[in-house]
Amino acid sequence: MKILKIFCILLIFFLFFQNHSLANSPQQVDKISKNLRCLICQGQSVYDSQSDFALSMKTLIKKKIDEGKNDDEIYDFLISKYGEWIVYEPKFNKNTFFLWLLPILVFLGGGWLIFKKTKFFKL
* Position 24 contacts other proteins (CB under 8 A): no
Phi and psi for 36 in degrees, rounded to 5? -115, 140
Binding-residue pattern over the window 37 to 66 for other proteins, x denoting contact by CB under 8 A: x-xx-xxxx--x-xxxx-xxx-xx--x---
How far apart CA 123 and CA 119 sit, in angstroms, is 11
Q: If we measure between CA atoms, which residue out of 49, 75, 50 comes closest to residue 64?
A: 75
How far apart CA 4 and CA 9 sit, in angstroms, is 9
Residues in touch with other proteins (CB under 8 A)? 1, 3-4, 7, 10-11, 14-15, 18-21, 30, 34-35, 37, 39-40, 42-45, 48, 50-53, 55-57, 59-60, 63, 80-90, 95-96, 98-100, 102-104, 106-107, 110-111, 114, 117-122
